[in-house]
Amino acid sequence: MLLPFAQGSGWALDRYELTGARAIYGTVLKARITEGQTLLDLARKFGIGYNQITAANPSVDPWVPEPGIDVLIPKIVVLPRGLLPEGITINLAEMRLFFTKRGSGGRTLLYTCPIGIGRSGFSTKTGLYTVRSKAEDPTWYVPESIRRLEPDLPPVVPPGPDNPLGRYILRFSRHAYGIHGTNRPLGIGRRVSHGCIRCYPEDIEQLYPLVEVGSLINIVYEPIKAVYQDGSCWLQVFEDYENRLQDPFSAALMAVDQCRQEAALLGREGLKVDLRALKQTVSEHTGLPVAVTGAKGPES
């Protein structure tokens, strides 16, 4: 169930109430391109990243799409295996942040948004961290390592429109990383940073007050996810941009097999894998969840 965000922004964090063993939330929308509109404009409007909208619409020019055509808007998320029961989970391969928080009445709420991540050679190290500190209108003290690469940068960038940290930052306990806003929102859903996690300004503004100092952060790299829902195993594949998978097809097959075992424990035995659908999903890596054991679609 998608819950309305109290602050009412059309660009707000997506918020869901986690229920039972459900692992897929949201839906896939369609939007029509208007004159002069780019896929990046639509991505910002619907609160998704560049990687999501281009992967879901591989035949569409992201910068000069044909007016009048319909494109897919993947407002759908599959929970990562590494999801923390409480805290922030970041799936680098998906370029998405998940924040779980206990609500009233024993509910668990999930807040999620797209992110920009470290560019080649600056990938955020996976593992567990905590939120060391928080700051509004932060000053950026440019590390010497970055100034050596970009000597035109000043040693200090004060708060303001030229500050790449934006208006809010959640600092990590290690490696000088942080989750922060950006003055370049076109970088959301792309590999653009020096290892920090960038959010749309409207997303970090709403995430910032929700996250407490000391909260856990789990950084994972899961280009392949397989979950059981609505009578089928669903496979979601993103680009393995770090080439960590020696054999993506075998990795997907193993993930689906694990999903089938979990389904058997729930009383749904004998699910048969559609190998053609599995191969196509791995090859296309659109980020859209696909039923690879044959069943009805996931309910939004």
Active site residues: 180, 196
- Give CB contacts under 8 A, 24+ apart, made by 1-7: 1/25, 2/26, 2/300, 3/109, 5/206, 7/206
CA distance 223 to 56: 15
Give first-to-last CA distance, the chain, whole Å: 7
Can you list the alpha helix ranges (DSSP code H) found in the chain?
Answer: 39-46, 50-56, 144-149, 201-207, 248-265, 275-284
Smallest CA-to-CA distance from 164 within 127, 210, 121, 204 is with 204
Burial 137-166 (b: 16+ CB within 10 A, else e): ebebeeeeeeeeeeeeeeeebeeeeebbbb
Phi, psi of 104 (to 5 degrees): -70, 155
Smallest CA-to-CA distance from 272 within 230, 231, 223 is with 231
Report DSSP letters for 244-285, one per residue: --S-HHHHHHHHHHHHHHHHHHTT---PPP-HHHHHHHHHH-
Q: Count CB atoms within 10 A of the CB of residue 46.
A: 18
